[in-house]
Amino acid sequence: MSALAALLPAVPPVFGWAVHARWLHRRLTTARHDPLTGLWTRDAFTRRARRLLRDPRAVVVLADIDHFKQINDTHGHAAGDVLLATVAARLAHGTGPGGVVGRLGGDEFAAVLIDREGTAADRLHTLARVLGRPVDTAPDVHTTVSLGWVRAADHPGEELSTLLRRADEAMYAAKRSGRSGPRRARIGRLLVSVAGRRPGRRGAA
């Protein structure tokens, strides 16, 4: 038997494993991305965000679409889905290639960006205006987006979960103030536990 003939029986199993590996990779990639917006899912976002928090210039942002239930009720759920996808794309663009953005669920998004120039406040005010623009393909579909943010260096040693709670607290302060723009988290202890305050996120005002 030739050397080539001896190798041929091994080819089909190897080929099969290669196909299976590609299939598994696609399944894992799909599982890590939200199917509607293409953003990272909560778990995938968390892993990447924790790595970015090693940089002292990291800024954690929480974004929540205002009056999302009203959009669904007025224009239908298809329009609501278009709005979610539009906000996701604009948030990812505004965060920049060095950051990470995820959809936490419903109409709530989180991001970690690296503030290399120290201009996070101005950058987020611009982003808030962009997020509030009408959907390009549906001019009647638009609303504001509340943003809360926290600079990781202001709270050294805190985990991502705590920083997200601080950003969440700031975001709700922005909502209560009439959505006047992004709100930076206060220095000091947290006021209210997120889990105890906000049951049922989707459709919140």
Catalytic residues: 107
Beta strands at 183-184 and 108-114: parallel, antiparallel or unpaired: unpaired
Angle subtended by helix axes 120-131 and 77-95, to nearest 10: 160
CA distance 46 to 33: 12
CA distance 179 to 147: 9
Q: Compute how many other C-beta atoms are within 10 angstroms of the C-beta atom of residue 21.
A: 10
Contact 190, 157 (CB under 8 A): no
H-run or E-run covering 180: none
Instruction: Pull the structure tokens for residue 130.
Output: 């962009």
DSSP state letter for 10: G
CA distance 116 to 152: 13
CA-based radius of gyration for the chain: 21
